[in-house]
Amino acid sequence: MKGIIYTRVSSEEQVKGTSLEHQEELCRNFCKDRGIEVLAVFREEGASAKTADRAEFLRAIEFCRKNKGKIDAFVVYKVDRFARNTEDHFYVRKMLLDYGATLNSVSEPIGNNPAEKFVETVLAGSAEFDNAVRKQRCVDGMISRLNQGINPWQPPIGYISPQTKKRGEKKNEPDKPHEEIFPIIQKGLKEFSKGLYSQAEMLNLFDKLGLSKIRGKKTRPQFVSKIFCNHLKFYAGILVNPWTKEEIRGIHKPMITKEEYHKIEIILSGRSNRVKHNRLNPNFPLKRTVLCGHCGMPLTGSCSTGNGGKYLYYHCRNRDCAMYGKAINKKKLEEDFVAELKRRTPKEKFLAIFKATILDLWEEKGKDFRMDAQKYERQIAILDGKRKRIFEMREDGSYSQKEFQERKEEIENEIVATKISLSETRIDQFDVEGILSYANNFISDLGRQWLDLSQSHSRFQKMVFPEGISYKRDEGFGTARMGLIYELNKTFGANKSLLVPLRGIEPRLTD
């Protein structure tokens, strides 16, 4: 007979002692007395007392499977070494029988006759009962600590566990705040409770406060979601008994107040009546476009009330700037802005050449597009023919229903993709000359266009000054990078030509 030995302990204390060696010695003596040749010994060290998912145990089972019919005996010291759950016990025992191996216990009579089966069932049930008792004692201990206001598990990020388990002690003190991470999470939650940030914006806020630097990795949406979904009550000083759902006041230092916790809950549920701050105030259309000429910060707008009524003005909001709190008359700044637009408006000669250049380029590219369109039209004709042939092959039985469906879907996907490519080449449907005429009329009087706008000042200003433009009181506007067409205008003004290509615009010139 051939067999294997499986030994197991469930705690580090036993691993350091003689339990494994003693078990193996008794198992080897058992095999020797019964003439069983030991092919392998599998030692499970420090595994859980309640799970059947054990590394060495699985290796032992796999050994039996791979050597099916060659292993006669699976030897353990005691039934509870084998499995602590009755269902697991008999399920795995059946597996062993399927592989040709019989379970043998050194210290207990188990086998296949009625008396031995009865004893085996009782022993397996006893092991399960013992495991259940241990589990209940563990649960009772955790409930006791919860009732004392102590979190018995690992705390969420922002707190440090006392690490009593490593010292072989039970946790009897609350989790302490992490010196660096606690204030960052705390500030983020307090800001969120004010309704100033969305969950997505919290990512940047946490990293801006230094969280990514401390953790060594960028903050992810899953991290923020876990804070709000799993740990929010803990941060508010609330512990929850997972068995009774009872809420208990924790004795750890909370990050947020109960009031802030409820505000966050309301925001997360979508029931918040918070008012979003409108950055685009129609009274101050140049806000965030005109920059302070001293510090570079965007100007903001304010209103003061006096005997003469309301006084609207722009000002720098940077407290460290020399111009902080010094008003710039709204009417004066906006008049200067209109004058600046008129000064930068392209001249008629430039617009005429620009229009001719674009039309020339459009015609050149149009030839390529038309050639592509013809190519795609031919492809569609071929694909339509293939599709028709697929239906014919289904009718004459060449394709099964499954084959027909697969080929039909494949060819139809190709047809759709090719039609999309074809539609992208149909540029002749656009009246490019009309569009250019409209564009020329629009940009030929920028000052008037800005004055006539009522809702789209910000978009217009971004088109002309994508990075904003600086302004100094009593000095006026400074230099600024402008949109593409205005940069071309500057080039034209300096060189009197459009020969210098910009971003791939290369006009064809005729003699």
| CATH code (residue 232) | 3.90.1750.20
Mean pLDDT of 156-179: 81
Domain end: 269, 303, 335, which one? 269
CB 172 within 8 A of CB 147: no
Mean pLDDT of 427-451: 67
Mean pLDDT of 159-182: 81
**Residues 48 and 13 both lie in one domain:** yes
**Residues 97 and 180 both lie in one domain:** no
**Residues 490 and 371 both lie in one domain:** yes
- Which band of pLDDT confidence, cut at 50, 70 and 90, is reported for residue 136? low
**Residues 423 and 388 both lie in one domain:** yes
Mean pLDDT of 193-209: 87
**Residues 98 and 237 both lie in one domain:** no
Q: 232-241 pLDDT, tens per residue? A: 999 999 999 8
**Residues 236 and 362 both lie in one domain:** no
Q: Does the pLDDT of residue 207 top 80, yes or no? A: yes
- Which band of pLDDT confidence, cut at 50, 70 and 90, is reported for residue 346? confident
Least confident of 104-118, 151-165, 333-347, 371-385: 104-118
186 in helix, strand or coil? helix
Q: How many domains does the chain have?
A: 3
pLDDT score at 115: 44
Residue 216 region by backbone torsions, left for phi larger than 0, else alpha for psi between -120 and 50, else beta: left
**Residues 11 and 118 both lie in one domain:** yes
Measured distance CA(441)–CA(444) in Å, rounded: 5
**Residues 353 and 486 both lie in one domain:** yes
**Which amino acid is present at 310?**
K
pLDDT score at 492: 63
> On the CB side of 286, how many CA atoms lie within 13 Å of its CA?
29
**Residues 362 and 232 both lie in one domain:** no
CB 84 within 8 A of CB 49: yes
CB 286 within 8 A of CB 299: yes
Q: 461-481 pLDDT, tens per residue? A: 777 788 889 999 888 998 888
Q: Between residues 18 and 410, which one has the greater pLDDT? A: 410
Q: Does the pLDDT of residue 55 top 80, yes or no? A: no
CA angle 422, 427, 433 (to 5 degrees): 175
- Give the count of beta carbons closer than 10 Å to the beta carbon of residue 79: 24
**Residues 50 and 91 both lie in one domain:** yes
Residue 509 lies in a domain: no
Residue 502 lies in a domain: no
Mean per-residue pLDDT of the chain? 78
Residue 115 lies in a domain: yes
Residue 336 lies in a domain: no
**Residues 199 and 99 both lie in one domain:** no
Mean pLDDT of 68-94: 76
- Which band of pLDDT confidence, cut at 50, 70 and 90, is reported for residue 128? low
| Terminal Cα distance for the chain, rounded | 103
Q: 239-284 pLDDT, tens per residue? A: 998 888 888 999 999 999 988 898 888 888 775 444 444 556 778 8
CB 502 within 8 A of CB 491: yes
pLDDT score at 436: 66
pLDDT score at 13: 44
Residue 386, domain extent: 348-444+481-495
Q: Between residues 376 and 117, which one has the greater pLDDT? A: 376
Mean pLDDT of 119-146: 62
Residue 226 lies in a domain: yes
Q: Between residues 70 and 486, which one has the greater pLDDT? A: 70
Residue 146 lies in a domain: no
**Alpha-helix runs per DSSP H in 177-316:** 181-193, 199-208, 211-215, 221-230, 232-235, 258-269
pLDDT score at 29: 94
Q: Does the pLDDT of residue 497 top 60, yes or no? A: no
Q: What percent of the chain has pLDDT over 70?
A: 75
Q: 402-435 pLDDT, tens per residue? A: 889 888 888 887 887 788 777 767 655 555 666 6
Q: Between residues 240 and 15, which one has the greater pLDDT? A: 240
pLDDT score at 417: 76
Least confident of 45-54, 212-221, 406-415: 45-54
CB 253 within 8 A of CB 279: no
Mean pLDDT of 326-332: 89
Residue 461 lies in a domain: no
**Residues 440 and 367 both lie in one domain:** yes
Q: Does the pLDDT of residue 385 top 90, yes or no? A: yes
- Which band of pLDDT confidence, cut at 50, 70 and 90, is reported for residue 386? very high
Mean pLDDT of 108-129: 52
Residue 183 lies in a domain: yes
Q: Between residues 435 and 285, which one has the greater pLDDT? A: 285
Query: What CATH number is associated with residue 43?
Result: 3.40.50.1390
Q: Does the pLDDT of residue 10 top 50, yes or no? A: yes
Domain end: 246, 269, 292, which one? 269
